[in-house]
Amino acid sequence: MYELPFLDLPALDGASGTVRLPGSKSISNRVLLLAGLCAGTTAVHDLLASDDTRVMLAALQALGCALRTDADGVVHVTGLGGQLAVHEARLFLGNAGTAMRPLAAALAVLAATQGGSFELSGVPRMHERPIADLVDALRPLGCGIDELGAPGYPPLRLHGTAGGRLQTRQPIRVRGDVSSQFLTALLMALPLVAGEHDVVIEVVGELISKPYIEITLNLLARFGIEVQHQAWQRFTIGRGSRYRSPGAIHVEGDASSASYFIAAGAIAARDGAALRIEGVGLDSIQGDIRFVDAARAMGAQVRGGPGWLEVQRGRWPLAALTLDCKHIPDAAMTLAVMGLYADGPTRLSGIASWRVKETDRIAAMAAELRKVGAQVSEGPDFIEVTPPLDWRAATIQTYDDHRMAMCLSLASFNALAGASPASGGRDSLPVPGRPVRILDPRCVGKTFPDYFEALFGVAHATPENVPVITVDGPTASGKGTLAAALAAALGWHLLDSGALYRATGLVAQWDGVSPDDEAAVARLAAALDLRFGQGGESGRTWLRGREVSEDLRLEATGVLASRVSALPAVRKALHGLQLAWRKVPGLVADGRDMGTVVFPDAPLKVFLTASPAQRAQRRHKQLISKGIPANIADLRADLEARDARDRMRSVAPLKPAEDALLLDNSDLSIEDSVAQVLGWWEQRRPFDALPSVAARPPGASSP
Ligand code: DC
**CA–centroid distance, residue 671 to ligand 1 (Å):** 24
**CA–centroid distance, residue 656 to ligand 1 (Å):** 15
Rg of the Cα atoms in the chain: 30
Contact 155, 125 (CB under 8 A): no
134 Cβ neighbours under 8 A, 6+ residues apart: 101, 104, 105, 174, 182, 185, 186
| Percentage helix, strand, coil for the chain under 3-state DSSP, each rounded to 5 | 40, 20, 40
Dihedral (Cα; 344, 345, 351, 354), 10-degree rounding = 100
d(CA 46, CA 73): 8
* CB of 29 sitting under 6 A from ligand 1: no
Please, what are the domains in the chain? 6-21+253-463 (3.65.10.10), 25-250 (3.65.10.10), 466-684 (3.40.50.300)
- What is the DSSP secondary-structure string of 195-209? SSS-EEEEEESPPP-
Instruction: Name the residue at shortest CA distance from atom 20 of ligand 1.
Output: 498
Contact 55, 96 (CB under 8 A): yes
d(CA 422, CA 6): 33
d(CA 239, CA 241): 6
Which residues does the chain have with pLDDT short of 50? 1-2, 419-429, 691-703
Instruction: Name the residue at shortest CA distance from atom 17 of ligand 1.
Output: 591
- Is residue 662 classed exposed, middle or buried when 0-12, 13-18 and 19+ CB atoms within 10 A define those classes? exposed
**Tell me, what's the pLDDT at 431?**
55
Q: Which of 420, 490, 422, 479 is nearest to 452 (CA)?
A: 490
Helix/strand/coil for 22 = coil
- Most informative mutation of 562, 581, 618 for ligand 1 (most atoms within 8 A of CB): 562
- What is the DSSP secondary-structure string of 124-173? GGGGGS--HHHHHHHGGGT-EEEESSSTTSS-EEEEE-TT-----SSPEE
**CA–centroid distance, residue 495 to ligand 1 (Å):** 12
Please report, for residues 144, 236, 242, 269, 400, the alpha-carbon distance to residue 140 in angstroms, rounded to integers and kept in the order given.
10, 18, 23, 56, 39
- What is the DSSP secondary-structure string of 242-288? --B--SEEEPPBPHHHHHHHHHHHHHH--TT-PEEEES--TT-SSGG
Helix/strand/coil for 83 = coil
d(CA 663, CA 471): 10
Q: Which of 127, 134, 69 is nearest to 108 (CA)?
A: 134
DSSP structural state of residue 118: E
**Tell me, what's the pLDDT at 420?**
43
The whole model's pTM is what?
0.86
Neighbours of 670 (CB within 10 A): 13
Please report, for residues 17, 384, 450, 474, the alpha-carbon distance to residue 535 in angstroms, rounded to integers and kept in the order given.
20, 40, 10, 29
Q: Which of 132, 41, 117, 52 is nearest to 79 (CA)?
A: 41
Neighbours of 167 (CB within 10 A): 10
- Most informative mutation of 592, 598, 643 for ligand 1 (most atoms within 8 A of CB): 592
Atom of ligand 1 nearest to the CA of 594: 18
Q: Which of 486, 490, 516 is nearest to 504 (CA)?
A: 516
**Tell me, what's the pLDDT at 419?**
41
d(CA 653, CA 648): 6
- The CA-CA-CA angle for residues 384, 386, 388, to 5°, reads 145
Instruction: Name the residue at shortest CA distance from atom 2 of ligand 1.
Output: 498
**Tell me, what's the pLDDT at 18?**
98
Q: Which of 103, 18, 105, 24 is nearest to 448 (CA)?
A: 24
Counted residue by residue, the chain has a size of 703
H or E element in which residue 676 lies: helix 670-684
Helix/strand/coil for 700 = coil
d(CA 690, CA 439): 10
**CA–centroid distance, residue 11 to ligand 1 (Å):** 32
d(CA 502, CA 505): 5
- The CA-CA-CA angle for residues 27, 32, 36, to 5°, reads 150
Neighbours of 265 (CB within 10 A): 29
Dump pLDDT digits (tens) for 586-638.
999 999 899 999 999 999 999 999 999 999 998 899 889 888 888 999 999 98
Instruction: Name the residue at shortest CA distance from atom 18 of ligand 1.
Output: 591
**Tell me, what's the pLDDT at 644?**
86
- Most informative mutation of 501, 608, 642 for ligand 1 (most atoms within 8 A of CB): 501
**Tell me, what's the pLDDT at 652?**
79
d(CA 698, CA 564): 45
Instruction: Name the pairing type of β-strands 156-160 and 144-147.
Output: antiparallel
Q: Which of 382, 268, 371 is nearest to 321 (CA)?
A: 382
486 Cβ neighbours under 8 A, 6+ residues apart: 469, 471, 492, 588, 674, 677, 678
Q: Which residues of 192-204 are buried (b: 16+ CB within 10 A; e: fewer)?
A: bbbeeeebbbebe
**CA–centroid distance, residue 566 to ligand 1 (Å):** 10
The alpha-helical segments, DSSP class H, found in 299-450 are 332-338, 361-371, 402-409
Q: Rounded to 5 degrees, what are φ and ψ at 66? A: -85, 130
d(CA 536, CA 357): 33
**Tell me, what's the pLDDT at 510?**
97
* CB of 563 sitting under 6 A from ligand 1: no
**Tell me, what's the pLDDT at 699?**
38
Dump pLDDT digits (tens) for 531-542.
998 877 888 999
Out of 13, 46, 254, 330, the active site residue is 330
Atom of ligand 1 nearest to the CA of 501: 8
d(CA 440, CA 199): 47
d(CA 322, CA 295): 12
**CA–centroid distance, residue 496 to ligand 1 (Å):** 9
